[in-house]
Structures are given as structure tokens and as C-alpha cells.
């Protein structure tokens, strides 16, 4: 895999430290939650982020996964949203924390935020590991951000290209010839 990566933007150690700090911020925010916390991770990109984050979050929680894909197959620019699973019941009255790997155009998160709000949670907050500020739209509120990054196509730590590289431990920029 290393040979396919042009350069590393964030090392595994940097990511781990930041995820631990984010868990600390969240633990404070949700310490007084009486409704109970439900984490809604957007699959598949947030799986590694989810797994690391929740083990640093000493709170009672439920996990309700949703699968949305805006980059089907080998596309590296946003395509039409494809919703592969639906949110179950049970978000009403809960403190909901939506989790995604990256905020790019914001279409994915905007869409899922709307679906969650329709289920009348007690609160809705959103956490993303990465944000591309060059594009992040002002109408998509996010409460927790791991890192602001440049506008490049990145892979690793859950982020894929054509479903590859999710297990790459760092976050790096893919060699352009790998996605052409
Ligand atoms: P948005 O809807 O905000 O444009 O895009 C969000 C989704 O697109 C993310 O959940 C992620 O799956 C995918 N995405 C956006 N930018 C990147 C990127 O740089 N690398 C990868 N691997 N996926 C991305
Ligand atoms: Mg995704």
C-alpha cells in the first residue's frame, strides 16, 4: 500500500492523539446526558474512527449505523447519494451524535442530519474526523472536527478509494495515477 501513497498528511500517532482529545471534548459535553447517547456512524468510512473513538468514550451508548455512499466505486468527486440502509426507530428523545470520516461538499451530512432531525432526537451534534474547509458549506453545522485538511483526495484510517486502503493506518494522499 505504501507505494500507492504520494505523501502522508497525518500519521497514525497524530490521529490517535487527536481522536483521544475529541473523546475528551465529547465526554464533557455528554456527561450530564439524561436521555442517553446514540452514536450514528456513517458507514463505511467512519469505522476506524468509530472504533477508536468509542473506546476512549466512557459513556453508556447505543450505536445505530447508516450506510450512505456518495463516491461509488472509483469516483473521486461527489456523485449522487446512495442510501444503502435506513435509520431504525429509536432516535426519538435521544442525544444523537452523527459521526463521519470527512466533510467535503457536505451533501452526505446534510442529508443524514435531515433524516435524523425528522426522528425528533433530544439533541443532534455532528463529529467529523476531517474537514476540507475549502469546500465545507456554512449550512451544515459540525460540532467536533478532528483536522482541517487541504483539498486533496485522501485515503487511510477508514477512508477508501474503490474500497481499498481503509486499513492503511495513516491518512495520506493517493498517487494521482492510482485513481485515473
Ligand atoms: P460530501 O458529501 O461531504 O461531499 O462527502 C462526504 C463523503 O465523501 C465522505 O463520507 C467520504 O466517504 C467521501 N469523501 C469525501 N472526500 C473524500 C476524500 O478525500 N477521500 C475519500 N476516500 N473519501 C472522501
Ligand atoms: Mg463515506
**Is residue 76 very low, low, confident or very high in pLDDT (cuts 50, 70, 90)?**
low
Cα of 4 vs centre of ligand 2, distance in Å, is 20
Arithmetic mean of pLDDT, 153-177: 96
Using the predicted structure, report yes or no on whether residue 77 has a pLDDT greater than 90: no
Return phi, psi of residue 144, to 5°. -135, 125
Angstrom distance (rounded) from CA 135 to CA 26: 25
Dihedral pair phi/psi, residue 33, rounded to 5° = -65, 120
CB of 122 closer than 8 Å to CB of 65: no
Q: Which of 86, 104, 143, 160 is catalytic?
A: 104
Choose which residue among 45, 69, 140, 146 to substitute to test ligand 1 binding: the one with the highest number of ligand atoms within 8 A of its C-beta: 45
The alpha carbon of residue 140 and the mean position of all alpha carbons in its chain are separated, in whole angstroms, by: 14
For residue 157 the three cell numbers come to 484510517
What's the CA gap between 79 and 136, in Å, rounded?
16
Is the beta carbon of 14 within 6 A of some atom in ligand 1?
A: no
The share of the chain scoring above pLDDT 70, in percent, equals: 90
User: Residue with C-alpha cell 449522487?
Assistant: 80
Q: For residue 34, give the C-alpha cell.
A: 439524561
Tell whether ligand 1 has an atom less than 6 A from the beta carbon of residue 78: yes
With 0.75 as the threshold, say if the pTM is over it: yes
What stretch of H or E contains 26?
Answer: helix 12-30
Q: For a substitution probing ligand 1, which of 1, 47, 48, 70 has the most ligand atoms within 8 Å of its CB?
A: 70
Confidence band for 55, pLDDT divided at 50, 70 and 90: very high
pLDDT above 60: residue 71: no
Q: Which ligand number lies closest to the CA of residue 67? A: 2
Instruction: Spell 82-105 as b/e; 16+ CB within 10 A means b.
Output: eeeeebeeebeebbbbbbbbbbbe
Amino acid at each position: 500500500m505504501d507505494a500507492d501513497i504520494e505523501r502522508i498528511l497525518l500519521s497514525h500517532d497524530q490521529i490517535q492523539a487527536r481522536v483521544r482529545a475529541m473523546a475528551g471534548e465529547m465526554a464533557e459535553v455528554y456527561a450530564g446526558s439524561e436521555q442517553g447517547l446514540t452514536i450514528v456512524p456513517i458507514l463505511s468510512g467512519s469505522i476506524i474512527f468509530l472504533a477508536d473513538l468509542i473506546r476512549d468514550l466512557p459513556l453508556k451508548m447505543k450505536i445505530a449505523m447508516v450506510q450512505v455512499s456518495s463516491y461509488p466505486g472509483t469516483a473521486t468527486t461527489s456523485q449522487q447519494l446512495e442510501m444503502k440502509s435506513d435509520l431504525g426507530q429509536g432516535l426519538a428523545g435521544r442525544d444523537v451524535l452523527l459521526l463521519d470520516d470527512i466533510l467535503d461538499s457536505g451533501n452526505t451530512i446534510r442529508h443524514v442530519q435531515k433524516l435524523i432531525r425528522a426522528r425528533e432526537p433530544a439533541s443532534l451534534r455532528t463529529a467529523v474526523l476531517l474537514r476540507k474547509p475549502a469546500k465545507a458549506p456554512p449550512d451544515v453545522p459540525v460540532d467536533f472536527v478532528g483536522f482541517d485538511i487541504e483539498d486533496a483526495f485522501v485515503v487511510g484510517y477508514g477512508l477508501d478509494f474503490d474500497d481499498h486502503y481503509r486499513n492503511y493506518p495513516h491518512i495520506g494522499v493517493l498517487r494521482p495515477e492510482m485513481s485515473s
